[in-house]
Amino acid sequence: MQRHIVLFRVRDDVASPELFAAIDTLRALEPVAGAELWRVELSTDARKGRVIVEDATFTTDAAFSRFLALPEHRAAGEVMARISDWWVGDYTE
pLDDT score at 39: 98
pLDDT score at 50: 98
**The total number of structural domains that make up the chain:** 1
pLDDT score at 84: 98
Answer for the pair 39, 54: CB distance below 8 angstroms, yes or no: yes
Q: What is the CATH number of the domain that holds 12?
A: 3.30.70.100
Domain containing 77: what range?
A: 2-92
Q: What is the pLDDT of residues 21-69, one digit of tens each?
A: 999 999 999 999 999 999 999 999 999 999 999 999 999 999 999 999 9
Task: Write down the pTM of the prediction.
Answer: 0.95
Q: What is the pLDDT of residues 5-19, one digit of tens each?
A: 999 999 999 999 999
